[in-house]
Structure 1
Amino acid sequence: MNVQEDLMENLDEYISSIHKEHPGLVKKVQHSQQLGLTQARLSGWKAAVGDVVAILDAHIEVHVQWAEPLLARIKEDRTLILTPMFDRVNFDDLTLTPNIPAAHGFDWALWCLYEAFRPEWYNLKDQSQPVK
């Protein structure tokens, strides 16, 4: 048995357990061939039926009430596309290191980089405020 087959059975059981309490909350989208990350995200988004869609990578772990601040911002302005700040989790001891809020970007060589916000935003001392 390969790893994917093993995960498939466990994933189906997990989704079934969620549906017992929250029918239809989780939907699995399966492809006949392997897709890149962007295409996989887009196909999930197209299959979504909710008022708000959250697309999380497999390495993202959320905690209780993680969505409420994001949903409040969306309620204020439905044209927003939001991303939360992600803390770094040390793989050795699982300690958290908060990341400094910054914009994600890419340089011309397509290396990921982080651009600082304008000083006025940091002076607000409220990380829940949106940034353009």
Structure 2
Amino acid sequence: MADVVRPSDRFRQGMATRRRVLGDAHVDRASGSATPFDQPFQEMITEGAWGTVWSRPGISPRERSMITIALLAALGHDEEVAMHVRATVNTGASREDITEALMHVAVYAGVPAANRAFKIAKHVFDRIDAGETGGGSHD
């Protein structure tokens, strides 16, 4: 009989935070599409990103959203920018907050990076305003 591996406390905390920020539908899609090949990656990001960084006290989910979107935009990770812009409906970051974060991207990471991220955010907000949900990366 195979050993059953129980999730760590950090994994459980990470999954709760991940669901609170990204929503059950997104997390269910990402978890449901995991294979033996990428399951270790899903576990690592759940524990590391969501169970450690996103679950830390000290700054709010709103502030974490702003920081995350700015970093992802600066690095050119378009799908992740879109996913985290969608998540702002759960974190409390306003459209004005995202504008301010992307203004910082323009100054510190370059106008082309900010321009691309503004286009992505506008598209996401248009979809949200139209009542559409879903899609995006498997993070």
TM-score normalized by the length of structure 1: 0.29
- RCO higher in 1 or 2 (8 Å CA, sep ≥ 6)? 2
Larger strand proportion of the pair: 1
Larger helix proportion of the pair: 2
The structure that has the greater radius of gyration is: 1
